[in-house]
Structure formats: structure tokens, C-alpha cells
Amino acid sequence: MIIRPATLNDTDRIAELYQQLFLLMAEYQPDRWRPAAQDRGFIENAVTDEKFCLRVAETEGHIAGFAFAQTQDTSPYTCVVPRRFGYIFDIVVDPAIRGQGTGKKLLDAVKDWSKAQGHTHLELSVLPENTGAMRLYEREGYQPVIHTLAIKH
């Protein structure tokens, strides 16, 4: 397996993996998420715009997963310590190969990119129902920073 920058030729497969992600999110929280297709222009922009990091895991010519991150700056509140960091929007691994280290390899690739950008740290969000992803992130040293809570009316 190799981890490499995504190309425009990977767009269709990344879109398929996004559909898997959105379906899973809708299963976890149907009141917040719904199955959908990711906009192709969004993926193409992530491939071509240097502020994004889009890496794919390829095995035997097949895209088995991807990670998508971006450089972000902290909010301009006076109480917030200003810093530039990497934010991981999405990591998706084909269910057929989950548990084989692909997610860790993708995380490592994004971490390398983030360090090269001079970021202070990496952040990500994960649905609490996604226990497999939570275990991976915790094993890799990610720690809670803030909890977002909601109440239905």
C-alpha cells in the first residue's frame, strides 16, 4: 500500500468513498445527516488547491481510502491564543479493509504534511457513535479539546 497525493483521476473513487461516509453518518445520526453525494467540484478543488491536503491510500491500483485536511487559523477572539493548525475534515477507509492499518497510514501522512506546513497541531472531529475511529485517534494520541453538546426541542 502506498499513500500519495490525490490526483484528478482519483475523483470518482473519492466520491464513492464519500458516499459510504455520508451513509454511515446518516445511520449514526439520522436527525443530523443524510445520505448524499459529495460535490465533484469540491473534490477537484481539494486536489488542485495547495491549502488542502488530500491523500489517498492505494493498493494494487485501487484507492482504498483517503484523508482530507486543510490549514486553518484560530478565531480572532482576544482570549484565543493565535495559531495556525491543520484540521482533518474526513478520513475514509473502505470497509473491506478496515482494521489493517490504512487509517493510521493516512493519519501519519496528514501529520507529516501538517508538520511541513509549520502547524502547531492537528485537530479533527468525530461522531461519538464512530467508536472504531475514536479508538484509532486515541491510540494515535489525539485527546478531547472541547465537547459540543446539543438538545432537541
Kindly list the structural domains of the chain, giving each domain's residue range(s) and its CATH number in brackets, ordered by start.
2-139 (3.40.630.30)
Please report which confidence band the pLDDT of residue 116 belongs to, taking 50, 70 and 90 as the band edges: very high
- What's the pLDDT tens digit per position in 53-94? 999 999 999 999 999 999 999 998 999 999 999 999 999 999
Beta bridge partners of 63: 58
What is the pLDDT at residue 17? 98
What is the pLDDT at residue 145? 93
C-alpha cell recorded at residue 108: 501519519
Residues listed for the chain: 153
End-to-end CA distance of the chain: 47
Chain centroid to CA 128: 15
- What's the pLDDT tens digit per position in 10-62? 999 999 999 999 999 999 999 999 999 999 999 999 999 999 999 999 999 99
DSSP 68: E
Q: What is d(CA 141, CA 138) in angstroms, rounded to the nearest whole number?
A: 5
Buried b (16+ CB within 10 A) or exposed e, 104-123: ebbbebbbebbeeeebeebe
Please report which confidence band the pLDDT of residue 136 belongs to, taking 50, 70 and 90 as the band edges: very high
DSSP per-residue codes, 96-148: GGTTSSHHHHHHHHHHHHHHHTT-S-EEE---TT-HHHHHHHHHTT-------
What is the pLDDT at residue 114? 97
